[in-house]
Structure 1
Amino acid sequence: MLKGKDYDWQDSNLALFGSDLERNVKKAAAETEQAWHGCGQAVGQEIWRIEKFKVVGWKKEHHGSFYSGDSYIILNTYKEEEELKYDLHFWIGRHSSQDEYGTAAYKTVELDTFLDDKPVQHREVHGFESDLFKTYFPAMQIWKGGVDSGFRHVKPEEYEPRLLHFSGTRKNIVVKEVELLKANVHSDDVFILDLGLTIYQFNGKTSNKDERMKANQFVTELKGKRGKAKSEVLDEADTSKNHEFWKALGDGERTSSKADDSDVVGFTPVLFRLSDASGSLEMTKVAEGQKFEKPLLDTNDVFLLDTGHQMFVWVGKGASKDERAKGMQYGHNYAMKTKHPFVPIARIGEGQHVPAFDSMFA
């Protein structure tokens, strides 16, 4: 499987969404997938990685760690009034191949079918994850590489140097592996330079205590696994440019970045209807504004709500088979044409409640 440039898959129309292949998946077929057996029976997260078209369980000790070259399926099971409910996410790595994310999308639909269409489905893109997704993992760790990289057990002195970027607040600290460049280290956050036997924690001038604490915990865990490794905490203001930390980093333009909201500043939320009442499937604008009237949501159709920061596909109970099947595909294709193509997309069935969606309606 070839790995492309950043988000190389974005030009695809995510063809498996809404195809006959996708929607003809029956529960009987879903039950033949061994990975689904026994899932969704207890509160918590279950994760699978797509490995050469197969769904492979992701061990508990690796939860919160993702490879940028892979795609994953995440099932979050929770209880509400003694009833089990679900949020079902597929996560697309920045360098995931089309066959990987296509399989993840297809298998997400299959798992939804297996769970009797009870889950709320979510599309998550590397670097643009929803707030809900981030709450599952106190410290997300995103590594370079993919299935072929695996979790290799090597001696500390054989480790390839890596630079880790810690950013966020107490509940949502994200850890990303970034290029070993001086330009990638800045004052806003905390960075760890892992040289195998020597580990440096660099605290930026304006980094917060949560980032520093999480990085410190990470270093402690690394040292515990490696035994003879040593560490040093560096404060930006007191660290010379001649320090070994800086000497280990190369020159070049900054490559690490946070999700940028600049493209949606001043964006006016818009609501579309997806209907085949005319004989062919059409998507038309219904309204735009900061709030919408609930009666606009017709039970006989599918609606797409774009807030600029997130998109929702709402499926009415009376929607036709084609409308139901094509909702997520239309949402993905629409997103690809906007200035915010990677925002989270959630598919909600009528009667299901998602606070971020409900709050948009008066």
Structure 2
Amino acid sequence: MTGLVKAKEYDWKDSNMALIGSDTDREVKKESAMTEEAWKGAGEKTGLQIWRIVKFEVTHWDKNQYGSFYDGDSYIILNTYQEPDNEELLYDVHFWIGKNSTQDEYGTAAYKTVELDTLLDDKPVQHREVQNYESEMFKSYFKTLNIMSGGADSGFRHVEPEKYNPRLFQVKKESRKKISVKEVQFTKKALNSEDVFILDKGLEIYQWCGKKCSYDEKFKARSYIQETLKPSRGGKSKSETVEEESIPPNHSFYEALPDEELIPCNDETDDSLPAMHRLKDVNGKLEFTLVAEGTLKREDLASDDAFIVDTTKECIVWIGKDADASESSNALAYAHEYLKKSKHPFISVTTFRQGVHRESKAFTSALN
């Protein structure tokens, strides 16, 4: 995760926090949000809205590309919905960090997410999502989650098909209802018999079906080629479907792929325990202290502070209804910094405000 690992750590001692979270700070954010062109119409009706961060600016993401993200970018996703028999609009706002996104990009995404939250009067539940570690909620928004290499300055729309850099996608059934399409290392050794793979050469597209793949994976791959890849080629591309059991070894599909070794995954074994930390403002200085480890209890939460609850599977930022303004404003950033030093730095982060947001079942079940 290049963008996150290389990020410079926050140094709260040297930052001017006097106005952070104050009424003045909120008014400044609110005024800024109201003049942000990208937020016009945000959250006014049910549905999904997505923005991409381009050179510190919030830009609308093409609706035809919803579900597709570049690993070199950061995005903001707003889901506006209503519950049955209730006309009130409710929100979940996520900022998604590509594995090669820079600190400037995801920092802007995080700041602008808070700005959008302020514009919507603190109603949204905020979430941090990191590529390949997305929450089930986030993945549920899209029929297919498609991760592509590149970023704002290297998108396919700026590249002629004839000069296109070939890519290899894996189409994999993750669960009964979820099939993912993800770009994988460009090598023959990435292939396996259980899944379907798409070789995208720009004007030539191949669908390679492993001998043990499912019908659903074949259907999803075919739909992805027809609905996503081909339209972006101006109708000039041709596609071919090949079966592992019948394709000859000298077929152009195999000849296009190098036989390079797979880059090993360096994920270390995570033997860490669930933990709860308190963020407390003591005479104008924020103190971050461990409250409990192993067994987490609801009675340890206090309404006058903010807490970071790490279950090792997800991280919850819980903000008490009487929490200090600086505690409330900085809790998400502290959670981000805390996770960077953990063995699971990329798990999803969700913020709940006591008395404002309904807590998830996963969070309540983690507290004894």
Identify the TM-score tier after normalising by the shorter chain.
0.7 to 0.9
Q: Report how far residue 192 of structure 1 moved.
A: 0.3
Matched, 1:146 2:146: no
- Output the CA distance in 1 between the equivalents of 2:39 and 2:264: 36
Query: Equivalent of 1:47, from 46, 50, 54?
Result: 50
Which residue of the partner structure matches residue 252 of structure 1?
A: 260
Which residue of the partner structure matches residue 183 of structure 2?
A: 177
Query: Equivalent of 1:163, from 165, 168, 188?
Result: 168
- Output the CA distance in 1 between the equivalents of 2:284 and 2:246: 70
Query: Equivalent of 1:276, from 274, 281, 284?
Result: 281
Gapped regions of structure 1 (runs ≥ 5)? none
Aligned Cα root-mean-square deviation (Å): 2.7
Q: Which letter does structure 1 place at the counterpart of 2:188?
A: K
Identity of aligned residues (%): 49
- Output the CA distance in 1 between the equivalents of 2:144 and 2:301: 37
Q: Report how far residue 148 of structure 1 moved.
A: 1.1
Q: Which letter does structure 2 place at the counterpart of 1:29?
A: S
Which residue of the partner structure matches residue 2 of structure 2?
A: 6
Which residue of the partner structure matches residue 77 of structure 1?
A: 80
Name the CA shift for 1:332/1:320 in 2 (closer, same or farther; >3 Å).
same
Q: Report how far residue 211 of structure 1 moved.
A: 2.4
Q: Tell me the TM-score normalized by structure 2.
A: 0.86
Q: Map residues 314-325 of structure 1 onto 2, 5 A cutoff.
A: 314-325=318-329
Which residue of the partner structure matches residue 333 of structure 1?
A: 337
Single out whichever of 184-193 and 105-114 deviates more from structure 2.
Answer: 184-193
Which residue of the partner structure matches residue 364 of structure 2?
A: 358
Q: Report how far residue 185 of structure 1 moved.
A: 1.9
Matched, 1:189 2:195: yes
Q: Report how far residue 153 of structure 1 moved.
A: 6.7
Q: Report how far residue 15 of structure 1 moved.
A: 7.0
Q: Report how far residue 249 of structure 1 moved.
A: 0.4
Query: Equivalent of 2:65, from 62, 65, 71?
Result: 62
Structure 1 counterpart SS, 2:326 = helix
Structure 2 counterpart SS, 1:249 = coil
Structure 2 counterpart SS, 1:214 = helix
- 8 A Cα contact 2:306 2:327, kept in partner: yes
Query: Equivalent of 2:309, from 296, 305, 311?
Result: 305
Structure 1 counterpart SS, 2:52 = strand
Q: Report how far residue 247 of structure 1 moved.
A: 0.9
Structure 1 counterpart SS, 2:114 = helix
Matched, 1:30 2:19: no
Which residue of the partner structure matches residue 344 of structure 1?
A: 348
Name the CA shift for 1:333/1:153 in 2 (closer, same or farther; >3 Å).
closer
- Output the CA distance in 2 between the equivalents of 1:271 and 1:150: 41
Which residue of the partner structure matches residue 207 of structure 1?
A: 213
Gapped regions of structure 2 (runs ≥ 5)? none
Structure 2 counterpart SS, 1:281 = strand
- Output the CA distance in 1 between the equivalents of 2:276 and 2:93: 23
The size of the alignment, in residue pairs, is 353
- 8 A Cα contact 2:7 2:102, kept in partner: no
Q: Map residues 90-101 of structure 1 onto 2, 5 A cutoff.
A: 90-101=95-106
Structure 2 counterpart SS, 1:342 = coil
- 8 A Cα contact 2:319 2:354, kept in partner: yes
- Output the CA distance in 1 between the equivalents of 2:280 and 2:9: 19
Q: Which letter does structure 2 place at the counterpart of 1:43?
A: T
